Amino acid sequence: MERKKKHSLTAIQSILLGFFVATLVFSVLLYLPWATAPGEHTSYLDALFTAAASVSVTGLTVVNTATHWSLFGQIVILIGLQVGSLGIVSFTTGVLVVLGRRITLRDRILLENDFNLDTLSGIETFLRGVVIGSLIGEALGTLLFLPVFVPEFGARGVWIALFHAVSSFCNAGMDIIGGDSLAPYAGDLWLNLVTMLLIVAGGVGFVVWRDIHRVVRLVRRGEVRPRQFFHRLTLHSKISLSAYLVLLLGGWLLYGCFEWTNPATLGAMAPGERVLGALFQSVTARTAGFYTVPQTGLRGSSLLLTIVLMFIGGSSVSAAGGVKTTTVALVALSAWSVVKGEPEATAFRRTISHRLVRRASAVILLSILFLLGCTTLLSLLHGGGDLTDLFFEMTGVLSTTGLTRGICPELNAAGRILVICCMYFGRVGPFTLAIGLARRRGGLLSSYPEESITIG
C-alpha cells in the first residue's frame, strides 16, 4: 500500500494556530460564571472579544474591566496579557527553560519565527532573559505604583498596581481603575512617568535590551569605553533606538503644538500638565493604549498624527504592535538612497540588504491593504458612521494599540466579530499571516528575462 503523506504544520502556521487556540481557551475561562462580577452578565461574544483583546495585547474592551469582571476574571485577563506579550510559543517554552527543561529543534524553529530571529544560537539564554527580564520589569513597576494606588484603594491597590504594571509593560492599555483610563491621573507626575517608562521598556524590544546588556558588560570589563557605547551596538539596535527616539520626541513636539490651546484636551490643563500630557500621548500612541486626554477631543491634525504613530508602533521583537520602527526606517532609508542616487540603502556605515528592504516594503504594503479593507468592511457592518473614527478605530485594532474613540461598545455582533478577527490579524501580523496561509514553493525553478518599466 502506498503510504499517506503526513502534512505537518510549518513553524509559522503553528504560531498562528497557537494564538487562535489561546484566544478560544481564554474566552471559555471568561465565559465561566465565576469570571463575572455579581450582578453582571457576560455573553460569549463579550468573553471572546475580551479574550482576543488580552491575547493580542490590544486592550480594547466592550465592558468595564474594573466592574464587570470578578477577581478571577481579571486574573484570567492578566495571564492573557502576559501570554500575548511574550507569544504563545515563547511563553510556554520559556517556562520550560526557566524550569531547566531542554527544548527541541522544532521548538527552536518556532521561537526563531516567533521572535523573528535570524539565528538559533543561544536561544535558551535569550528566552530565559526575556522571561526573567519581563517579570523583573513588571515587579519593579508594581513596587513603583504602590505609593499611588495603595493610599487611594487600600489593600486592593496592590492588585491594581500589579495589573497596571503588567498592562503597561505589555503595551496593552487595559486597566481596572475605571472607565476613563488614566484621565483622572493626568496631573500625577509620578504615575505618568512610571507608566511611560514601562511602556517604553516593553516597546523598545527584547533584542535591543539584550544588545544593550551585552555592551554594558563590555564597558564594565573595560573592553569598551563609555563614549563608544552606541557605536558598539548592532545595526538593529541603532536603527530601533534612533527611530523610536525620533518618533517619540517628534510626536511630543507636534502634540504640544496641535493641542496646546484645545480646551477639549490639553487646553484645560496647567502649562506643566500640558507638557506632560503631550509627552504621554506621544508615548501611548506607540501601541500602549492608555490615555490621559480624551481621544474624542483631539483635533484633526492630532488624529492623523496618532494614526501614523499607531500604524508604525514599537520596535521589532517587543511587546508593542504596529509594522515596527525598523520596518519603516528601512523603507525610508531605501527611499532616501534613491533620492541621493545611491545603489544601496545604508545606515551607520553599514549596507542594508535588498532582501530586508523587500520584506519591509511587503509588510507595509500588506498592512495598508489590511487596514483599508477592514475599515471599509467595518463601515459597511456598522451602517456608516464617521469614516475618520472608523479608520482611527481600525488602526488601533490592527496595530494592537487599543486607543479608541468609543466605537467598539456601539458595534453590532457582526462588527465585533470583525474586530476580533482584526485583533488576531494585528497580533500575528499581516505578513506572517500571509506566509502562514500561502502554499510556498521550495525554490525558484527558473528565471525570466528582465525588462524595464516606467516608475512615477
Note the pLDDT tens digit of each residue in 94-142. Answer: 655 655 666 666 666 656 655 555 555 566 677 777 888 889 999 999 9
* Distinct helix (H) and strand (E) counts, the chain: 18, 2
Q: Which of 355, 353, 365, 370 is nearest to 428 (CA)?
A: 370
Where does residue 64 rank: exposed (0-12), middle (13-18), buried (19+ CB within 10 A)?
middle
Where does residue 217 rank: exposed (0-12), middle (13-18), buried (19+ CB within 10 A)?
exposed
Determine contact, residues 290/173, Cβ cutoff 8 Å.
yes
What was the pLDDT predicted at 59? 86
The string of pLDDT tens digits covering residues 229-266 is 999 999 989 999 999 999 999 999 999 999 999 999 99
Q: Write the DSSP symbol of residue 269.
A: S
What was the pLDDT predicted at 173? 87
What was the pLDDT predicted at 1? 43
What does the alpha-carbon distance between residue 114 and residue 39 come to, in Å, rounded to a whole number? 40
Strand partners, 428: none
What was the pLDDT predicted at 44? 95
Q: Which of 17, 89, 19 is nearest to 54 (CA)?
A: 19
Q: Write the DSSP symbol of residue 415.
A: H
Q: Which residues of the chain have pLDDT under 70?
A: 1-15, 88-124, 430-447, 452, 454-456
C-alpha cell belonging to residue 445? 525553478
Domains in the chain: boundaries = 10-179, 235-435
What was the pLDDT predicted at 448? 73
The rounded mean pLDDT for the chain is 85
What does the alpha-carbon distance between residue 427 and residue 432 come to, in Å, rounded to a whole number? 10
What was the pLDDT predicted at 304? 95
pTM score, two decimals?
A: 0.88
364: left (phi over 0), alpha (psi -120 to 50) or beta: alpha
What does the alpha-carbon distance between residue 83 and residue 418 come to, in Å, rounded to a whole number? 22
> How many other CB atoms are found less than 10 A from the CB of residue 103?
17
